[in-house]
Structure 1
Amino acid sequence: MPMSSPLLITASRDLLALKDEWLKNLEVERRLSDKTSESYERDLRQFFHFMTDYLATPPKISDMKNVRPSDLRAFLASRRRDGAGARTLGRGLSGVRSFLRFLEKRGLANASGARAVRTPKQPKSLPKPLAASDALRVTNQDLQMVDEPWIAARNTAVMVLLYGCGLRISEALGLKTNQIGTKTDILLINGKGGKERVVPLLPIANEAIEHYINLCPHQLADGLLFRGARGGKLHAAIIQRDMKRLRSALDLPDTATPHALRHSFATHLLAGGGDLRTIQELLGHASLSTTQIYTAVDTDRLLDIYQKAHPRA
């Protein structure tokens, strides 16, 4: 990841050098994605800007030595006034804490003040999966809202991978042709943070991919599997746009997005008796707590069924 120019961050050069070292350390130890690293870098840059105003001078290493809880609370209050939500504030505090711990290990700071600040309460946001019948309609090639048969086949193959394998859209669109062998029944996915996982490839997914390959007018050998209309890289925005047309035609809610198919994969597996550990592995979640959110979704579904069906409800 390219490091920010010192001109873009108000801080001393030695502090900027430590910031770059911290980011490299995070990428190696925690295998953060480029997007996450960029978010952390941006959060720390905002903290440096805040400290410049707070101290009336660009912060130096010595200014990090004893950052107080009141300093961090003032930083969070400033970000909140600028419109930052609870998730953004929580991530920003996490980034600053991580940087101070990094400095503490080198004897350059005391991170106890950061540890004493409570993380802003996060809003509860449950995944919104599609009903099984709607997920099957979305993955039906005959219902795709595009004119070109090969593009309809392409969109179907992508949707089947999202719902049938629980892939992130970036993972599906990043697949290479050589990852799809002849009638292979597994996929090796390189997920977030470079973490690899193996997911089963259902026969119907194999059939959808094979049908797309047979119709695709572009040369696919040893390149990306899914292509745009002119043969270049297929971008997620194209699939999201086509999904928007499809959900309008099928009278589905706005929450019916490509990512909702991944949620549907997990929720329907859980409802069918799948265990959380297996679903965690299939989704590529680093923590089981991330996967456990689907238990709340399934509980809501069961309560809804109970209230509609039980004579005493």
Structure 2
Amino acid sequence: MDRWLAQLSGARNASPKTVEAYRRDVAGFLAFLSQHWGGPAGQAALARVGTRDMRAWMAHERGRGLSARSMARALSAVRTFYRWLDQAEGITAAAVTATRSPRQKPRLPRPVAEAAAADLLDLAGSLPEEPWIAARDTAVLTLLYGCGLRISEALGLTGAALPLGESLRIRGKGDKERIVPVLPVARSAVAQYVALCPYPMQRDTPIFRGLRGKPLDQRQVRKAMQLLRQSMGLPETATPHALRHSFATHLLEHGADLRAIQELLGHASLSTTQAYTAVNEQSLMRIYEAAHPRQRRG
């Protein structure tokens, strides 16, 4: 398994988080087999995994509360491991590849409404007592909503990106690189924060800092967002990542091309971006049902 994980992070450029998730899922599968069979799951044993073994594993995982989505992810990790086993060791088990993923309801993005997103960014600059902290929170959230960045991408920016120009070169998931336009309001928000930040900006250090000068942690951004949504009465789905969803949904609502949104978000597959069309359709149906004369008359 160590050799497989090394191949994942090396040849396939999988992120450390992806590698860790795969390790955890496959280790759990192997541990179950050892317990299920009453002995270690060695190479010979891995080749004789059958349909009953796979069903028993999935029943065990669901029995301990694993959701359909998490179960599908774990099964995908096990399949990936077995594909590597086939190539590297000649070990195959048809039952693994034949096992179907559990059905799961599609999870649609939950964006923040357009007016609420604007109000949220305004409020972010007034809640913290320290002016530079207020400017920092505003700058980070503006990058999420104004540029569609992931929170890790925004916090990964270093002083080498300063001063922000009209575009940013972002290295996202799977080491995929993309060019993201930067709105004047985002450039202004970051410039204001940099001017107020008490810590020096160096090319190789993160732009965004915590109270004591260490790199800003994602948990601190989530906490700031929690305070904002509580102040505004927004649902718990209003997270930092929801601002990225809002970026895509609002662009789509204003006529942006789906392919362009895919490029801006850095999605490897268009099918991932297409989830936003379903959100847009739901919004249109709500407007239709509320506004159509026949609906009001009924």
Class of the TM-score when normalised by the shorter of the 2 chains: over 0.9
Instruction: Report the residue type matching 2:62 in the other structure.
Output: R
Specify which of 190, 194, 208 is matched with residue 213 of structure 1.
194
Q: Which residue of 2 aligns with 1:234?
A: 216
Give the Å deviation of 1:139.
1.4
Q: Tell me the residue number matched to 1:81.
A: 63
Unaligned runs of 5+ in 2: none
Task: Provide closer, same or farther for how the CA distance between residues 193 and 142 of structure 1 changes in structure 2, counting only shifts above 3 A.
Answer: closer
Deviation per CA, 1:19-44: give whole Å up to 9, x if none.
11111222234321111111111111
Q: Distance between the aligned counterparts of 1:252 and 1:271, measured in 2? A: 21
Distance, in Å, in 2 between the alignment partners of 1:106 and 1:255 is: 43
The SS at the match of 1:189 is strand
1:141 and 1:165 map into 2 onto residues whose CA distance is: 19
For residues 165-244 of structure 1, the aligned pairs below 5 Å read 165-181=147-163, 184-222=165-203, 223-244=205-226
Distance 1:60 1:237 in 2: 40
Structure 2: how far apart are the matches of 1:82 and 1:187?
Answer: 44
1:99 aligned residue: 81
Could you tell me which runs of 5 or more consecutive residues in structure 1 were left unpaired when the two chains were aligned.
1-18
Give the letter for the 2:105 counterpart: P
Q: Is the 8 A contact 1:153 1:211 kept in 2?
A: yes
Counterpart residue number, 1:246: 228
**Distance across 2 between alignment mates of 1:245 and 1:76:** 39
Please say if residues 34 and 40 of structure 2, whose CA atoms lie closer than 8 Å, have aligned partners that are also in contact: yes
Report the CA distance shift for 1:209/1:258 in structure 2 as closer, same or farther (over 3 A).
same
Corresponding position of 1:154 = 136
In 2 relative to 1, CA 100–142 (structure 1 residues): closer, same or farther, beyond 3 Å? closer
Q: Distance in 2 between matches of 1:111 and 1:199?
A: 44
State TM-score, norm by structure 2: 0.95
> 1:144 Cα deviation (Å)?
3.3
C-alpha contact 2:117 2:243 (8 A) present in aligned 1: yes
Residues 138-162 of structure 1 show CA distances to partners (whole Å, capped at 9, x for unaligned) of 1126753111111111111011100
Q: Which residue of 2 aligns with 1:44?
A: 26
Q: In the TM superposition, what is the alpha-carbon distance from 1:114 to its structure 2 partner?
A: 1.3
Partner Cα distance (1:47, 1:260) in 2: 33
**Are residues 1:133 and 2:115 paired?**
yes
TM-score, length-normalised on structure 1?
0.90
Q: Which amino acid aligns with 1:103?
A: L
Percent sequence identity is 48
**Which residue type is aligned with residue 262 of structure 1?**
R
CA drift of 1:66 comes to 3.0
- Post-superposition shift, 1:190? 1.4
